[in-house]
Structure 1
Amino acid sequence: MDVIVTPTPKLQGELQALSSKNYTTRYLLVAALAEGTSTIYYPAHSEDSDAMRRCIRDLGAIVEEDDEKIVITGFGRNPKPVKELDVGNAGAVLRFLMAIASLCPDVTFINRYPESLGKRPHDDLIQSLISMGVSIEHREGKLPINIKGGSPKGGHIQVSGNISSQFLSALLFLTPLLAEDSEIEVLHDLKSKVVVGQTLEVLEQAGIVIHADEDYMRFRVPGNQRYAAKTYSVQGDYPGSAAILAAAAVTESDITVHRLVENSKQGERAVVDVLRMMEVPLSHNNDIVTIKGNGKLKAVEYDGDNATDAVLAMVAAAVFAEGTSRFYNVENLRYKECDRITDYLNELRKAGASVEERQSEIIVHGRPEGVEGGVEINAHFDHRVIMALTIVGLRSKKPIRIRDAHHVAKSYPIYFDHLKALGAQVEWVEAGQGE
């Protein structure tokens, strides 16, 4: 399905922020790794969290659900032997479960998205698991990946952190269950340290003890630990809300978003600070963000490494800012569902934006007068690109058509419903229809 975004001068209304995808997938996993029954209130519903639900069920967890909560009876350190796991297009779910699957005798992760997740590299985690005595067959670090495990060994483990922090998080979920104590040493640089903080926060809530150096480059993990069955409550999602807040910033708006925790460990909460730097009129009190936008923004310079999943929305806002904005230290955007620098900027240019790229930077020459639009653009099957391109369409002079916009469901299935509720003119059309 495609979406046609028609220029919309004004947004108005109130929303409850979607529940956090990152926290939901982590809570689902620690509940599955516990012996006993855990309850997760307000879980996210998205393709990523659904992939984790599906896979932990396949691995032997009992998963029961109603409108408010999920109740999970875990499999502890003994997942059920399973031949295949299908993570869909969810990279974090794949990487976390590659580590857990090393407790199984023979599992193959299948490749259902050869043009997206199927292109992403996982070599760094593969090398770490092999060093722990796990046998892995793969195609140059990419799916399909076959893991022959059963008895991974702890000890001194090295993992590279310069492509993704998800490899480290995967090892942090696995190593407490092993017989031996472990020391995890992070090589090179560590990207997205804030997200590692979320993993550690969830592990601590699940009763796991991990001793982390302050810079997150070395971790000491006692072995023979057990995950505790607990009750969790999922906070609102900043990465998805970033797109809503940026849409409000570029239009005449009066919107309120609830359930955005002020002291959240989500790095993307920085979108509030960045919009403030851009002189967007907003307040953030009692977990509520209110924006009364006037469409006027000032350029910013921002280190995007701590807020990776909000950078594309920030860039979309900067398209309409006065002056030149620079988002730096964002190279890991290249290793997502698509190359979120080259692919995204190519589509922005089609819509009329003036943007440049470096290996690890995005430079935006703002056009406060707006951009032309009137084009069809390709979102490269990437939910964050879809959301960000929609923001640009709201402020274009002519409508833009975003191909395959249904892939927004990966993290925010009701994104367009929420925008419509605020007054945005967005319309679903069948691919090929009206062309």
Structure 2
Amino acid sequence: MNGFKAVIKPTPVLRGDIQALSSKNYTTRYLLIGALADGTSTIYYPAHSEDSDAMRRCIRDLGATLTEDETKLVINGFGAHPGKVKELDVGNAGAVLRFLMSIAALCPEEVTFVNRYPESLGKRPHHDLIDSLRQMGVEVADRDGRLPITIGGGKPKGGHITVSGNVSSQFLSSLLFMTPLLEEDSEITVLHDLKSKVIVGQTLEVLEQAGIRVEAAEDYMHFRIPGRQRYLPKDYIVQGDYPGSAAILAAAAVTSSDVTVRRLAEKSRQGERAVVDVLKAMGVPLTHTNDSVHVTGNGKLRGGEFDGDHFTDGVLAMVAASVFAEGTTRFYNVENLRYKECDRITDFVHELNKAGANVEERQSEIIVHGKPEGVKGGVEINAHYDHRVIMALSVVGLRSEQGLIINDAHHVAKSYPGFFRHMLDLGAHIELI
């Protein structure tokens, strides 16, 4: 997809019925455990996004074979023995990089992860995982924790491993994927605080589905992983994606709407399932039954206080909805938003205020003073190459007086290539230039 701008025009009414996109988090995890199995696994309804496509590309390079049709992807895995590869290109996909840094340690020779996005993923730190890999005897060459990163292949050793959970839960997930394949048993202790615990729950869920045994403490701060395990080739069905759907639901909440989003499992382990509860708490008329969320929005919302750590990837969409709520809304415990594709607190708040909203930031909070009458808009917005910022600002544009122009809107494809198509299907007035 070539670069384009999205011109979001005032849209009072949204109506329609869509299927949620498939979950990016589950797709990348199923691709990985399919590759780590000896034999053939089938993934139904895999997501297509820059992240999941990066995982497809990299596991192919490491020796898996993939065939795909409209509804499913069949993987023949490499098991515990990824092949020789000099370089891996994860694009701008942080989770894919972090998961594969551990797997690369199982390669017969060293592997370099290249730096294709110096302004985005290239700025993100990976010290915490590098420290853990070094404890396991893995040689790592890096630029102060940043890409390009070279992992020395060979024989990582299990045993007692510590990992910091302060910046991201992806470092822990990475170790949980790799350690079952080692000769030795491993114990992992998480230091400091663990961010996005709920996403670790997704990792443990897919490991269990693949026949892997992990003993986890209730607070996810300590794990025991027996070595010499094997991933079983299995069939997996990818559920609908709450983080992407959060923006669609927010758009329905701030307009006069009759919108149904299907394939959103009521009993999902995705933390962003909480966006449904957040919207309910804000007084949005909605129902969630038979894995479908049905919103009959009237544009009226009321402010509240929400712990954003439970639904990290849904926070920006909920902030966008709360721009139009009565009173003040506070999202707290969200500092890890600063360490994403951009600083999702400072950068996002700056663009919201430019559009006419009244939003403040703290180190780990976003505070929104609602404007039920709407915002002025009429400005060009910098999306900071961030898919979640693009989607959230699109929601704000719908209730702006003069619309919004979002630059570099093609970066929405990182997680949700069909986002603008779905918005247009629901009746949003959007022009792509």
Is the pair's TM-score, using the shorter chain for normalization, greater than 0.5?
yes
Residues 205-216 of structure 1 aligned to structure 2 (within 5 Å): 205-216=209-220
In structure 1, how many angstroms separate the alpha carbons of the residues matched to 2:142 and 2:300?
Answer: 50
Determine if the alignment matches structure 1 residue 11 to structure 2 residue 14: yes
In structure 2, the gaps of 5 or more residues are: none
Residues 217-366 of structure 1 aligned to structure 2 (within 5 Å): 217-366=221-370
In structure 2, how many angstroms separate the alpha carbons of the residues matched to 1:399 and 1:201?
Answer: 42
In structure 1, how many angstroms separate the alpha carbons of the residues matched to 2:304 and 2:41?
Answer: 43
The structure 2 residue matched to 1:103, chosen from 97, 102, 106, is 106
Determine if the alignment matches structure 1 residue 187 to structure 2 residue 191: yes
The structure 1 residue matched to 2:32, chosen from 29, 33, 42, is 29
Q: Which residue number corresponds to residue 82 of structure 2?
A: 79
1:386-415 deviation digits (Å, cap 9, x = unpaired):
000000000000011000000000000000
Q: How far 1:198 sits from its partner (Å)?
A: 0.1
In structure 2, how many angstroms separate the alpha carbons of the residues matched to 1:416 and 1:156?
Answer: 47
Q: How far 1:300 sits from its partner (Å)?
A: 1.2
Q: How far 1:281 sits from its partner (Å)?
A: 0.3
Q: Which residue number corresponds to residue 204 of structure 2?
A: 200
In structure 1, how many angstroms separate the alpha carbons of the residues matched to 2:265 and 2:52?
Answer: 21
In structure 2, how many angstroms separate the alpha carbons of the residues matched to 1:32 and 1:288?
Answer: 32
Q: Which residue number corresponds to residue 157 of structure 1?
A: 161
In structure 2, how many angstroms separate the alpha carbons of the residues matched to 1:150 and 1:338?
Answer: 34
The structure 2 residue matched to 1:421, chosen from 421, 425, 431, is 425
1:156-213 deviation digits (Å, cap 9, x = unpaired):
0000001000000000000000000000000000000000000000000000000000
Q: Which residue number corresponds to residue 433 of structure 1?
A: none
Determine if the alignment matches structure 1 residue 175 to structure 2 residue 156: no
In structure 2, how many angstroms separate the alpha carbons of the residues matched to 1:352 and 1:288?
Answer: 33
Q: Give the letter aligned to residue 33 of structure 1.
A: L
Residues 88-99 of structure 1 aligned to structure 2 (within 5 Å): 88-99=91-102
Q: How far 1:53 sits from its partner (Å)?
A: 0.2
Secondary structure (helix, strand or coil) at the match of 1:398 reads coil
1:103-162 deviation digits (Å, cap 9, x = unpaired):
122100001101000000000000000110010111110000011121000000000001
Q: Which residue number corresponds to residue 69 of structure 1?
A: 72
In structure 2, how many angstroms separate the alpha carbons of the residues matched to 1:427 and 1:405?
Answer: 11
The percent identity for this pair of structures is 74
Secondary structure (helix, strand or coil) at the match of 1:372 reads coil
Secondary structure (helix, strand or coil) at the match of 1:337 reads coil
**Scaled by the length of structure 1, what TM-score is found?**
0.98
Determine if the alignment matches structure 1 residue 46 to structure 2 residue 45: no
1:360-390 deviation digits (Å, cap 9, x = unpaired):
0000000000000000000000000000000
Q: Give the letter aligned to residue 100 of structure 1.
A: I
In structure 1, how many angstroms separate the alpha carbons of the residues matched to 2:145 and 2:373?
Answer: 46
In structure 1, how many angstroms separate the alpha carbons of the residues matched to 2:238 and 2:122?
Answer: 29
In structure 2, how many angstroms separate the alpha carbons of the residues matched to 1:7 and 1:143?
Answer: 41
Equivalent residue pairs, number: 429
Q: How far 1:344 sits from its partner (Å)?
A: 0.4
Secondary structure (helix, strand or coil) at the match of 1:246 reads helix
The structure 1 residue matched to 2:150, chosen from 141, 146, 165, is 146
In structure 1, how many angstroms separate the alpha carbons of the residues matched to 2:122 and 2:388?
Answer: 18
In structure 2, how many angstroms separate the alpha carbons of the residues matched to 1:160 and 1:76?
Answer: 27
Q: How far 1:34 sits from its partner (Å)?
A: 0.1
**Scaled by the length of structure 2, what TM-score is found?**
0.99
Runs of 4+ in 1 over 6 A off after TM superposition: none
Determine if the alignment matches structure 1 residue 115 to structure 2 residue 115: no
1:404-427 deviation digits (Å, cap 9, x = unpaired):
000000000000000000000111
Q: How far 1:306 sits from its partner (Å)?
A: 1.2
Secondary structure (helix, strand or coil) at the match of 1:371 reads coil
The structure 1 residue matched to 2:392, chosen from 377, 388, 392, is 388
Secondary structure (helix, strand or coil) at the match of 1:144 reads strand
In structure 2, how many angstroms separate the alpha carbons of the residues matched to 1:12 and 1:156?
Answer: 54
1:44-89 deviation digits (Å, cap 9, x = unpaired):
0100000000000000001000001000000000000100000000
Determine if the alignment matches structure 1 residue 373 to structure 2 residue 377: yes
In structure 2, how many angstroms separate the alpha carbons of the residues matched to 1:149 and 1:60?
Answer: 15
In structure 2, how many angstroms separate the alpha carbons of the residues matched to 1:284 and 1:380?
Answer: 33
In structure 1, how many angstroms separate the alpha carbons of the residues matched to 2:310 and 2:404?
Answer: 30
In structure 2, how many angstroms separate the alpha carbons of the residues matched to 1:255 and 1:202?
Answer: 31
In structure 2, how many angstroms separate the alpha carbons of the residues matched to 1:39 and 1:161?
Answer: 32
RMSD: 0.4
Secondary structure (helix, strand or coil) at the match of 1:134 reads coil
